[in-house]
Chain A
Amino acid sequence: MLKDKKVIIVGERDGVPGPAIEECVKSAGAEIVFSTTQCSV
């Protein structure tokens, strides 16, 4: 589903952080164009 797609990642510290999503998305063959982790508290 994500293969060869460009992906923007917005993670959350107390949910799933950006770097963890990056690993999943990379393994699915997507290109990460931006990744960040938010802190809402």
Chain B
Amino acid sequence: MKPVLKGTSFVLVHVPHIMTEAGTTFSVEREENNDSEFLQNAPNHIRTFEECLRYAPNQAFIGNIDPESLDSLPKPWYEHLIEGERFGKFGEIMPEDEFYALMQIADVFDLVLLEDGFVETIKGKLSNHPLINANDVAKLKGKPHMEIEKQVNENGAIPLKVDGILVGCVRKAHDKDETLAAHVMLENLATKASAILALKHLLHNAQIDPGQIEYIIECSEEACGDMNQRGGGNFAKAIGEIVGTLNATGSDVRGFCAGPAHAILHASSLVASGVFKNVVVIAGGATAKLGMNGKEHVKKGLPLLEDTLGGFGVLISADDGVSPVIRLDSVGAHTVGTGASPQQVMSALTVNPLEKLGLTLSDVDKYAPELQNPEVTEPAGAGDVPKSNYKMIAALAVKRGEIKKDDMDTFISEHGMPGFAPTQGHIPSGVPIMGSAREKIMAGALNRVMVIGKGSLFLSRMTNQFDGVSFLIESNNGTVEQQTGKAADEQKLRTLLADALRDVAQHLRSSEE
């Protein structure tokens, strides 16, 4: 059975307070030098929700503008804000106050405390949200302001603020266990809540009942567990529980930024093998990476652009004859023995799987490697990451004699796209193309897209290796494969029995007449 890309969702959450509280650039700076120039100046560089909403890459992420149109918009994008909507065809940009409430909805251990008055106000706002239902809102409950202050001042709870005013906190889940410390619970609950938002949008976008989802694969970069199994998991089932996917179990897949590409391959394989018909791949955002390049942004007078959590959902289903197909007959893999040179890496991920299918690099309409927004990375000295990847693919095409060296720029503009995703680790790694790619493939504007996920495994200090996998998404030729094997035999038997019973009934009716 061919696995197909049945639906996608992409969400952002504007969290300026969580950025300054839990982003590691901020938290490490506070520990080392609480009076630093950066910490003093940072508040002047925080964007309002309106500014975040009207930022062109964010509108591209949720589907309100085509990511490829970004190149034609005046730069810098943060100075040339566009008309923006909170909701887009792939998802939404949620403000921080509503997200605090969603974190409490996601929390089943009373760790997220919200102040009485705040809860009353936010209930009204959330009641108007198209995908947050009455059962969700009914879970919200308030606490006296004094109790929240006490948790923050005496028990090490992490404060939750709106416009500098304390409205809640996240407290620790255990007195001794550092794996359940307040900052870890904030990190994990934020990941869970943003994934819940992405899953709600995915079910809505794909027009599928939650009960039809059979398996969930969560692929963020966080670890949930306790001191005896700190990465025990499982975010996937915890997310499904809140959204009401009652017939689904699930598991977590990890691989740094390559996690999502691995997870989509797992999901597609589960569908192709017939184990499950509808498998969701889901990821929430990373609080630690908020404001990661903030020092350089502040120093250079930019807004703190890394103020959003990202999230996405992908639904892989059994072939429906129309949705784009995830090809499993040839995938790219950076193996243990591949080697580390840029040429070896990119060959393993692009040339090798294409050669196996008799295709050339030019036969792929669009490549989606790392899709980080260059406006975030360039001021920090990390360059335009998508463009670096496209240059290497184009160089391989030159080396293989597919194109001339002078045509590299044309190749890059035709087969590449501008980066538009937030620097949230796993979020920008190839997958953000899948929303627009699905639409364009179904409309006939694209035929073949390659998603490339790469992960920095060396960061865990377990290996010096990094990693990558890639896969192709193609238009569906409309031929739904016939069942084979036991299922086909059973179907034949049913048909024979039905025919025989019909003959008997006809015979009896004739006898009576």
**Docked CA distance A18–B257 (Å):** 19
Q: Is the CB of A41 within 8 A of B257?
A: yes
Residues of A within 8 A of B388 (CB): 14-15
The smallest beta-carbon distance between B480 and chain A, in angstroms, is 39
Q: Does any Cβ of A come within 8 Å of B370's Cβ?
A: yes
Residues of A within 8 A of B377 (CB): 40-41
Q: Which of B354-387 contact A (CB under 8 A)?
A: 370, 372, 377, 380-383, 385
Q: Which of B409-463 contact A (CB under 8 A)?
A: 423, 425, 428, 454, 456, 458-459
**Most chain B beta carbons < 10 A, residue from A13, A17, A20:** A13
Q: Is the CB of A13 within 8 A of B381?
A: no
**Docked CA distance A16–B346 (Å):** 12
CB-CB contacts of A1-39 with B at 8 A, as 1s and 0s? Answer: 000000000001111111110010000000000001101
Residues of A within 8 A of B458 (CB): 36-37, 39
Given the interface pairs A40-B377, A41-B372, the reply to whether A19 lies near B456 with Cβ below 8 Å is no
Residue from A14, A23, A40 within 8 A of B341 (CB atoms): A23
Q: Does any Cβ of A come within 8 Å of B497's Cβ?
A: no
Which residue on chain B has the smallest CB distance to residue A37?
Answer: B458
Q: Is the CB of B466 within 8 A of A37?
A: yes
Residue from B293, B340, B383, B385 within 8 A of A17 (CB atoms): B340
Which residue on chain B has the smallest CB distance to residue A17?
Answer: B340
Q: Does any Cβ of A come within 8 Å of B244's Cβ?
A: no
Q: Is the CB of B464 within 8 A of A41?
A: no
**Docked CA distance A14–B385 (Å):** 7
Residue from B342, B381, B385 within 8 A of A16 (CB atoms): B342
Q: Does any Cβ of A come within 8 Å of B389's Cβ?
A: yes
**Docked CA distance A13–B456 (Å):** 7
The smallest beta-carbon distance between A23 and chain B, in angstroms, is 7
Given the interface pairs A14-B454, A37-B464, A41-B425, the reply to whether A20 lies near B340 with Cβ below 8 Å is yes
Which residue on chain A has the smallest CB distance to residue B293?
Answer: A40
**Docked CA distance A37–B257 (Å):** 15
Given the interface pairs A39-B459, A40-B377, A41-B257, the reply to whether A15 lies near B372 with Cβ below 8 Å is no
The smallest beta-carbon distance between A9 and chain B, in angstroms, is 12
Residues of A within 8 A of B339 (CB): 20
7 example contacts (A-B, Cβ-Cβ < 8 A) are as follows: A14-B383, A14-B388, A16-B342, A19-B464, A20-B339, A39-B459, A41-B257
Which 5 A-B pairs give the minimum distances between C-beta atoms?
A40-B382, A39-B456, A19-B340, A20-B341, A20-B340
